[in-house]
């Protein structure tokens, strides 16, 4: 098992592919509020988003995953610790790290095409090239027929694909996805997994994907970060060595995938139970019994 209790962000000095774009989070803490009303969301959290890998972060819901994304995206700054990208500290939002949010953030007042073109237009760079790229991406995400439709005229899955295209046109070094497929029905969700995985397998850019769904995490990840309950820190890291390309129907029968799933579930249940028990003995006993059963 490749499980280690702390992510070791110096160990991965191995193979570097052409464009390295590595994000290192080291000893980061974040507290909201002050005095008696303060709440520590992240405490002494360290991990690495390795270059040209799909890193998935999973943790009990309500833990500070979204806060971590705000920090990495540069919308907020950590209280202590550092976040660096390719060695340079992150100071604010930038197009090198694009975020896909939980809820669709497509502008409702722009058509699909205008939404996709927004980044290049706002920065005023390479508009001709971008227009070509936009049409290419529209075809790639299967939305040519919806070029001039407004987001509310698209289904949930189509909105997510439009948003993927809006991010990809900017060729971000790192793509950050915050539970992007939450709220989709199971059918479109699985289609989106395969679709997203195939996009990733095509260019192998650095991706950081946050989720609460174990199946989603195992299906997509190269590396899986398992987060602890509040205050969040890295509980464990698992390398998912299932070969690509991956398909939903074959993955269910994959021995290795099932092993990993069991392991992840045990860890996540422990973390979830911690918040559930809140120190009570009965809950602690239950937790104990549960972990025995899992073995």
Partner 1 sequence: MSSTMKTADVVTNTQGPEVSTLSLTMFRFASWLKSPRPYLMMIGFAIVLGFWYLAVEVWKLPRFEDMPGLTEVFSEWFSKDPYYGLSIFTPEYYLHIGISLRRIAYAFLLATCLGVPLGLFLGWSKNFREFIFPLFEVLRPIPILAWVPLAIIMFAGSESPVIFLTFLASFFATTLNTMLGVESIDESYSRAASCLGASRWQVFRHVVIPGAMPYIFTGLQISIGVAWFSLVAGEMVSGQYGLGYLINTAYMMIEYPKIIIGMITLGIIGFATSAMVRMLGDYLMQWRVRELALGD
Residue with tokens 């930038």: 94
> Residue 147's closest CA among 110, 120, 121, 180?
110
Helices (H), the chain: 65-73, 112-123, 127-140, 156-168, 186-203, 214-220, 248-251, 255-277, 281-294
* CB of 31 vs partner 1, minimal distance in Å: 21
Cα gap 116→106, rounded to integer Å: 9
Phi-psi label, residue 260: left if phi above 0, alpha if psi -120 to 50, beta otherwise: alpha
Residue with tokens 């280690």: 4
Q: Is 101 in the site for partner 1 (CB under 8 A)?
A: yes
**Minimum CB distance to partner 1 smaller for 188 or for 236:** 188
DSSP 246: P
Q: Is 115 helix (H, G, I), strand (E, B) or coil?
A: helix
**Minimum CB distance to partner 1 smaller for 156 or for 231:** 156
| Stretch in the footprint of partner 1 (CB under 8 A) among 195-203, 208-216, 225-233, 269-277 | 195-203
Q: Which tokens in the block code for residue 6?
A: 């702390």
Torsion of CA 288, 291, 293, 295, to 10 degrees: -140
* CB of 18 vs partner 1, minimal distance in Å: 20
Cα gap 295→141, rounded to integer Å: 43
* CB of 205 vs partner 1, minimal distance in Å: 14
**Minimum CB distance to partner 1 smaller for 248 or for 289:** 248
Q: Is 146 in the site for partner 1 (CB under 8 A)?
A: yes
| Stretch in the footprint of partner 1 (CB under 8 A) among 115-123, 224-232, 269-277, 283-291 | 115-123
8 A C-beta contact, residue 161 and residue 144: no
| Stretch in the footprint of partner 1 (CB under 8 A) among 30-38, 104-112, 246-254, 277-285 | 104-112
Binding mask 149-188 for partner 1 (x = CB under 8 A): xxxxxxxxxx--x----x---x----------------xx
Q: Is 75 in the site for partner 1 (CB under 8 A)?
A: yes
**Minimum CB distance to partner 1 smaller for 47 or for 146:** 146
* CB of 110 vs partner 1, minimal distance in Å: 8
**Minimum CB distance to partner 1 smaller for 166 or for 246:** 166
* CB of 230 vs partner 1, minimal distance in Å: 22
Q: How many CB atoms lie within 10 A of CB 216?
A: 22
> Residue 185's closest CA among 227, 159, 208, 157?
157
Q: Among residues 94, 171, 182, 287, which is the contact residue for partner 1, using CB under 8 A?
A: 94
- Burial state string for 241-253 with b = 16 or more CB within 10 A and e = fewer than 16: ebeeebeeeebee
* CB of 281 vs partner 1, minimal distance in Å: 42
Q: Is 109 in the site for partner 1 (CB under 8 A)?
A: yes
Q: Among residues 11, 145, 243, 281, which is the contact residue for partner 1, using CB under 8 A?
A: 145
Name the residues that contact partner 1, by CB under 8 A. 73, 75, 93-95, 97-99, 101, 103, 105, 107-110, 118-119, 122-123, 139-142, 145-146, 148-158, 161, 166, 170, 187-188, 191, 195, 198-199, 202
């Amino acid at each position: 098992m490749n499980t280690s209790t702390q992510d070791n962000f110096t160990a991965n000095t191995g193979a570097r592919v052409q464009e390295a774009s590595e994000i290192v989070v080291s000893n980061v803490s974040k507290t909201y509020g002050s005095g008696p009303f303060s709440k520590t969301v992240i405490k002494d959290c360290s991990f690495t988003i390795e270059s040209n890998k799909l890193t998935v972060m999973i943790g009990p819901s309500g833990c500070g995953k979204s806060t971590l994304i705000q920090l990495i995206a540069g919308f907020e700054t950590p209280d202590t610790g550092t976040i660096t990208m390719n060695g340079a500290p992150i100071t604010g939002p930038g197009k090198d790290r694009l975020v896909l949010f939980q809820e669709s953030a497509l502008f409702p007042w722009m058509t699909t095409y205008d939404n996709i073109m927004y980044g290049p237009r706002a920065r005023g760079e390479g508009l001709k090239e971008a227009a070509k790229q936009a049409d290419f991406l529209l075809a790639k995400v299967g939305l040519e027929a919806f070029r001039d439709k407004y987001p509310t005229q698209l289904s949930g899955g189509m909105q997510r694909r439009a948003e993927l295209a809006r991010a990809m046109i900017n060729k971000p070094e790192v793509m950050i996805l915050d539970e992007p497929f939450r709220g989709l029905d199971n059918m479109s969700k699985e289609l989106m997994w395969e679709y997203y995985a195939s996009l990733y397998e095509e260019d192998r850019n650095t991706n950081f994907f946050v989720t609460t769904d174990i199946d989603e995490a195992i299906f997509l990840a190269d590396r899986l970060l398992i987060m602890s309950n509040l205050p969040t820190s890295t509980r464990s890291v698992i390398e998912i060595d299932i070969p690509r390309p991956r398909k939903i129907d074959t993955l269910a029968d994959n021995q290795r995938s099932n092993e990993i799933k069991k392991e992840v579930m045990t860890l996540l249940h422990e973390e979830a139970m911690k918040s559930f028990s809140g120190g009570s003995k009965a809950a602690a006993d239950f937790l104990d019994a549960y972990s025995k059963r899992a073995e």
